[in-house]
């Protein structure tokens, strides 16, 4: 799958911008603040209905304009595949159309336009709170498994209901017997989510090693472990995980009622990243964090390729500022020969990579 054409109207700094990229690597260069990241955000909107940065639709609407519209067409093996239109106005909200049919829920599109993004803010995946790492896990899994996405959405709904009930029990001081069935439902979905996350980590590990291997002078061995607070053996099945979760819930029930909230489950889990057996979060240098995040995203790309049999579109915002000159060259080499697929890279200056398509941002602006 690749992006064949995109038009971006009244989005961020763009009054009207049109772009017909190449199927392979595309470098967009231009000075700071010229709207390069905005273009990657618009592409992400067309694929996943939102930006890769945590911003509201309202913030991405061009100042003083009444609505924005992003129109994209995608191809697969040079055949027209589909068109996506994203429309937003403050009064009407956001509407997304695939081949002119309006989506009922935005989650419907997840997985149909596989996409991996990397931005300087992603350093929060290794340095930030567990929530950032769960977001990374959920993003990788949701885009490759509709079943996982369904479980995840279901989980969020059930968790909210159970928390509401626990809070009520806490405040009224009256036990509600339906708590048991709420707990059972949550334990069942949790066991599936935990099982899928564990399986993900097993498969992902090899891709992470592969991406590290692309960079010379990196004698570091990366690794990751899923931490869910249960002692599980390798390959443990869903039923057995579910039993352990139920046992945990019965030991913490009094606590949960006292606190009025769910104290155990996938919404509190974490990933531990390591290099050479040492915790990245605790011991790694800034440079090691940056390298890890770049490799993590490359590994996500490889993982998604393996699961989907299709190459995701790779959005690399300012990646060269994360890597030194030698590693930048190695990355381009790997993107061309190993990863493949369509890639967008933003950078401030034109680069000396002979075979790579490079476009100056001002050549894309129809109205500035």
Residue with tokens 């001002």: 362
Query: Cβ atoms within 10 A of the Cβ of 269, count?
Result: 20
Taking CB under 6 A as the rule, does residue 360 contact ligand ADP? no
- How far is the CA of 291 from the CAs of 49, 140, 229, 313, 335, in angstroms? 28, 19, 28, 21, 16
- Among residues 7, 12, 193, 241, the one that binds ligand ADP under rule CB under 6 A: 12
- Among residues 1, 6, 8, 36, the one that binds ligand ADP under rule CB under 6 A: 36
Query: Which span (54-62, 74-82, 158-166, 191-199) binds ligand ADP, by CB under 6 A?
Result: 54-62
Query: Which residue blocks in 173-227 are alpha helix, DSSP H?
Result: 179-213
Considering only residues 226 to 285 of the shown chain, the ones binding ligand ADP according to CB under 6 A are: none
| Burial of 47 (C-beta count, 10 Å sphere; 0-12/13-18/19+) | buried
Give the side-chain half-sphere CA count within 13 A for 27: 21
230: nearest Cα among 269, 200, 287, 267: 269
Contacts of 98 (CB under 8 A, 6+ apart): 82, 83, 84, 109, 112
- Among residues 62, 95, 248, 360, the one that binds ligand ADP under rule CB under 6 A: 62
Taking CB under 5 A as the rule, does residue 51 contact Mg ion? no
At what angle are helices 130-144 and 286-308 packed, to 10 degrees?
20
- Partners of 275 in beta bridges: 222, 278
Taking CB under 6 A as the rule, does residue 32 contact ligand ADP? yes
For ligand ADP, give the closer residue by CB, 32 or 286.
Answer: 32
For ligand ADP, give the closer residue by CB, 47 or 165.
Answer: 47
Query: Which span (11-19, 37-45, 132-140, 214-222) binds Mg ion, by CB under 5 A?
Result: 37-45
Taking CB under 6 A as the rule, does residue 37 contact ligand ADP? yes
- How far is the CA of 29 from the CAs of 35, 37, 127, 351, in angstroms? 10, 10, 28, 9
Query: Which span (31-39, 122-130, 200-208, 251-259) binds Mg ion, by CB under 5 A?
Result: 31-39
Q: How far apart are the first and last CA of the chain?
A: 30
70: nearest Cα among 93, 49, 92: 49
Tell the smallest beta-carbon distance from residue 239 to ligand ADP (Å).
49
Considering only residues 316 to 335 of the shown chain, the ones binding Mg ion according to CB under 5 A are: none
For ligand ADP, give the closer residue by CB, 25 or 186.
Answer: 25
Taking CB under 5 A as the rule, does residue 119 contact Mg ion? no
Tell the smallest beta-carbon distance from residue 31 to ligand ADP (Å).
7
Contact 126, 273 (CB under 8 A): yes
Contact 290, 91 (CB under 8 A): no
Residue 308 DSSP label? H
Contacts of 36 (CB under 8 A, 6+ apart): 28, 29, 30, 317, 346, 347, 361
Query: Which span (14-22, 29-37, 141-149, 228-236) binds Mg ion, by CB under 5 A?
Result: 29-37
- Among residues 33, 93, 173, 177, the one that binds ligand ADP under rule CB under 6 A: 33
Taking CB under 5 A as the rule, does residue 37 contact Mg ion? yes
Contact 300, 116 (CB under 8 A): yes
Taking CB under 6 A as the rule, does residue 35 contact ligand ADP? yes
Query: Which span (27-35, 109-117, 223-231, 260-268) binds ligand ADP, by CB under 6 A?
Result: 27-35
Taking CB under 5 A as the rule, does residue 38 contact Mg ion? no
Considering only residues 293 to 352 of the shown chain, the ones binding ligand ADP according to CB under 6 A are: 346
Tell the smallest beta-carbon distance from residue 11 to ligand ADP (Å).
8
Torsions phi, psi for 18 (to 5 deg): -125, 150
Tell the smallest beta-carbon distance from residue 345 to ligand ADP (Å).
12
Query: Which span (29-37, 241-249, 270-278, 327-335) binds ligand ADP, by CB under 6 A?
Result: 29-37
Tell the smallest beta-carbon distance from residue 139 to ligand ADP (Å).
21
Give the footprint of Mg ion on this chain (CB under 5 A): 37
Give the footprint of ligand ADP on this chain (CB under 6 A): 12-13, 30, 32-38, 59-63, 346
């Amino acid at each position: 799958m690749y992006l064949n054409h995109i038009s971006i109207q009244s989005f961020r700094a763009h009054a009207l911008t049109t772009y017909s990229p190449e199927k392979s690597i595309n470098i967009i260069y231009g000075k700071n603040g010229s709207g390069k990241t905005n273009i990657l955000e618009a592409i992400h909107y067309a694929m996943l209905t939102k930006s890769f940065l945590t911003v509201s639709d309202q913030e991405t609407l061009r100042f003083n304009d009444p609505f924005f519209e992003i129109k994209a067409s995608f191809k697969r093996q040079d055949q027209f595949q589909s068109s996506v239109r994203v429309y937003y106005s403050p009064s009407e909200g956001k509407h997304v159309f695939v081949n002119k049919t309006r989506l009922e829920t935005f989650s419907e599109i997840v997985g149909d336009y596989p996409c991996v993004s990397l931005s300087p803010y992603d350093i929060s995946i290794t340095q930030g709170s567990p929530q950032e790492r769960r977001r990374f896990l959920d993003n990788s899994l949701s885009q490759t498994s509709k079943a996982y996405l369904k479980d995840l959405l279901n989980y969020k709904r059930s968790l909210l209901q159970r928390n509401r009930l626990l809070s009520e029990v806490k405040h009224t001081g009256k036990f509600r017997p339906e708590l048991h069935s709420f707990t059972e439902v949550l334990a069942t979905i949790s066991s599936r989510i935990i099982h899928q996350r564990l399986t993900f980590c097993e498969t992902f590990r090899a891709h992470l090693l592969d991406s590290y291997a692309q960079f010379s002078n990196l004698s570091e061995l990366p690794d990751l472990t899923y931490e869910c607070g249960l002692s599980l053996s390798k390959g443990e099945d869903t039923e057995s995980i579910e039993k352990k979760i139920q046992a945990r819930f019965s030991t913490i029930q009094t606590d949960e009622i006292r606190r009025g909230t769910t104290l155990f489950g996938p919404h509190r889990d974490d990933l531990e990243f390591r290099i050479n057996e040492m915790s990245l979060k605790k011991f790694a240098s800034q440079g090691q964090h940056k390298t890890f995040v770049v490799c993590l995203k490359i590994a996500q790309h490889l993982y998604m390729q393996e699961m989907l049999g299709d190459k995701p579109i790779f959005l690399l915002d300012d990646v060269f500022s994360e890597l030194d000159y030698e590693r930048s060259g190695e990355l381009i080499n790997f993107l061309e020969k190993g990863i493949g697929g369509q890639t967008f890279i933003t950078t401030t200056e034109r680069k000396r990579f002979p075979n790579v398509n490079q476009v100056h941002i001002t050549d894309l602006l129809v109205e500035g």
